[in-house]
Structure 1
Amino acid sequence: MGDQEQREADALRTRELVAEARRLRQVIAAAEADLARTHADAFALAEEQTGRLREASTREREMPLRSMAAEFAVDARTSDRTMQTHLFEAHRTVTQFPTTWAAWHEGRVSRAHVRVVVEAGADLDDEHARVAFEQDVLDYAETTSPNRLRSYAEQVAESVNPRSMQERHDAAVLDRRVWVEDLRDGMSMLGAIGPSVEIHGVYDRITRQGKAIKAADRVARREAAEREIEREAATRGEREAVERYPVRLGASFGLSRDGLADGAGDSGVGDLGGCGSVVAGEVWFDQRTLDQIRTDLLLDMMLTSTPSIDATGGVVEGGLGAIRAHVQVTVPATSLAGTTAGGAELDGTCAVDPETAKILAGNAPGFDRVFLDPIGGAVLAVDRRHATAAQKRYLMARDVRCRFPGCRRPARDCDWDHREDYALGGKTDVDNLGAFCKRHHTLKHAAGWTVVQHPGGRLHFTAPSGLEYTDDPPPRVMFIPDPPPDRGRTGVDDVRAPF
């Protein structure tokens, strides 16, 4: 086969693959649209159930939707809060943007396109304005990517929206919030939604502070270079030093011709110390990137500074500035001893690196020791046993988080629920107690969910629909001590404990 024939064959195969991918995307889009329709029907059913509770309290009227979301969430193995949002968004898409849903079902647009259209048009309360918006945006959506569609959709929504920008901003600012998302390798992301001016102001301030630190570091590097030149000139002669030093100094300190640091601080990780510090007889320079400096500044100010406005009015002793961060960290004794290098976790939600765990443990005023089964890792007991406080420590160690399927709220922020109601004779002991967050504690009692607790903390749930689910305490990973070093290679006769 010649080169031209090979290129034509490759082009034909590529066209076939593209066509197959297009067909599969249409199949996936149709299935996702059908799932959204099912979620919308579930939301509508919950709305009908709520409508039959006209004389009920506000909390009772919330239960049909919350219970419906919980059933779908447990079956899908996801959070019921997330599922409740899915049900609402699906219902809004199907009922308020039917043309968009139809285009999605036909595969003319993707789920990402639909999300952009619905989010941009969510504030259009007028039906005629929404129909005009939807038709205009859909025509463009079929020709471009979701990212390019977003800007256009927002412009169209602005042009047809009868509400002013100020009115919409006043409503949107009520949704300001802060959240945490756990990542891998002992890292987490702090997110915030707030007024654009304040958010950009915060970013601009820490950026300016970061650049000031970088500028100070450049000055320190230049001064260190000048001192080195002076020492070189004093020992070998000024001309020889001036002729030879710039080449060597440029490689060592990253100087450009104007004497400033060229790309200084673009790699490595430093701490919050000053620039040009002398450590162990050597000059230390700030090697952090601007992003790293911004992050360090933000965390430092958030953890140590006092708010300019304190609305507590003396209710909190010392004011808001006296409140300090509080986290619960579980650390294996073997990690503290240095015989293993893992196992520490924060509130049962994410891993903590060993060095941070050791620092936290070293500064902690006390510990709760948790005894685990050496094989299965099940919690056996905690060593403090005075009244309810000991039971709470045991349950926090066993349950770690809310026991409702899919929920990850830390146990320390949960209620201690009696599986068998105390009023009906249920005992207040660890075999009848467990962590339930306020949301799911209320759901359990108000929406007809029943829970039976089995040995070892396993819970058996029965939903109002009759479907059944089980939830076990979080599994534990046992870390085995590292093997002793090779005696023949190290020459060490015995291995001593680090304590």
Structure 2
Amino acid sequence: MESRAAVEALEGIESSVAALAVCVRGAAGEVAPTGVDPAGGDPAGGDPVGLDPLRDQADAFLDGLAEAGRMEARLAALKVHLAAGYAAAAEALAAPAKSPQEHTAQEMAVTAEVACVLTVSERTAGALLCEARTLTAGLPLTLAALQAGTISWQHARILCDETANLEPAAAAALEAHFLDPDAVNPARGCPAGELVPGRFRAKARAWRERHHPVSIETRHTKSAADRRLEYVPDRDGMAWLSAYLPADTAAGIWDRATTAARALQGPAEARTLTQLRVDVASEWLLGGVMEGTPSPTAQVLVTVPVFSLLGLTGEPAMLDGYGPIPPSMARRLVADGAASIRRVLTDPRDGAPLEIGRSTYRIPTALRQWLRLRDGRCPFPGCNNPSLDNDADHLLAWADGGTTGISNLGQPCRMHHRLKHTTAWTPVGATANESPGWISPTGRSYPSEQQDWEPPHWPEPPDHAREDLARDDRDWEPPDWPASFDSLERFEGPGGLDGVGSPLPVDPFPDWALFTAA
């Protein structure tokens, strides 16, 4: 079985080698370059291939990098098949274990052999064997994607981690959500392999939290008992101070410290945002709020399914910048009425955002909060910069005819905001519910990560409804859509977030376009 799979993996590597050879020779000018987009034509949308040798060479280098990445993934798949095949062969060759201790000794011998062959530690070899066993026995879609080169070895390891301790059906559902396009409610936005591993882990973990067989309330109660503050000395007169605490508290502290650090920035301030953030937190912890240090309130968005907010279902809520939280935590945040918390209700019909608190409707803050809700973070591919640190920006400049609507707005971090205004990187394709993708100076398109909104759970029918169903075989239907929800505008049309007259937070880089033009 593994022998045949290894042969198929080797055939994939051979095709990658052939394609890579064409790219490398094209980069060296030995053959006609092949740098074309999937639809055909020049990737940069300019001259036909061959008329600009330098552009063709640059495209060949990029195509070679992409093919090298696919070959690395295929090599990893071959490594998995070989490791799993050796483990199975060694087990067949060994005499039946007469005790658990003897079985453990046999496994140790296999691990030691693999470690010596690869010149790695036994711990690393043991992890490889464990992951090989998981991929070959329980994650066929993941192994197939790795062998096809559409995901990396890091992505495959993340799926092994996030499916650990799940029942086979739950593990298969998580894997299908990201790798099977025909799955019920598959992952939205760019494919799993086009997300950087860190962002893919966040999305996989969020989906796992929402669909874990053990309720998040139960798991949170157990984990909250382990909250603690840790101190670890380090080199050069430095130390690490970390806290393990409930997510809503941690998010509020982080956002408040970031806002205070932003307020201290200016021409006369030499400290970086990272340095200011830790200095502000240190001052607060050691002596309270010191003179000259702002003490702003945090601005945290919590997205709550309507029926979960009412206590009718146990679905997790989503805390901006963190992920799923227990519904009891979300209900407490909303009930406390804290100014730092903005609650976002979701539509019981499709899971889409329904409205942001009425106190912030039709004011500049609403636009920024909607962008935070839509994007979650800087929409540049792979960027993990949180929403609070990002800028509101027109995709198509107002001076060029761009409107002030949600579909023409982005919230890039300051680095990628500068990238947009000073280079040919261009954000495109934003909608009310989808972040903009990006087109590079070479004309290649890179999709942005999208939020995985899910239809919420409907509450179970009451007992009297169950009795009616049993008596006359009627189909129970969820309660009528409340008229009060129909009256809520969804930030569309004239005067809403898609209206030309909508307000926009001040662009902190208004002069970049003039600088570029000059």
TM over 0.5: no
Shorter chain as denominator, the TM-score bin is: 0.3 to 0.5
Give me the TM-score of the superposition, normalised by structure 2: 0.39
* Higher alpha-carbon Rg: 1
Task: State TM-score, norm by structure 1.
Answer: 0.40
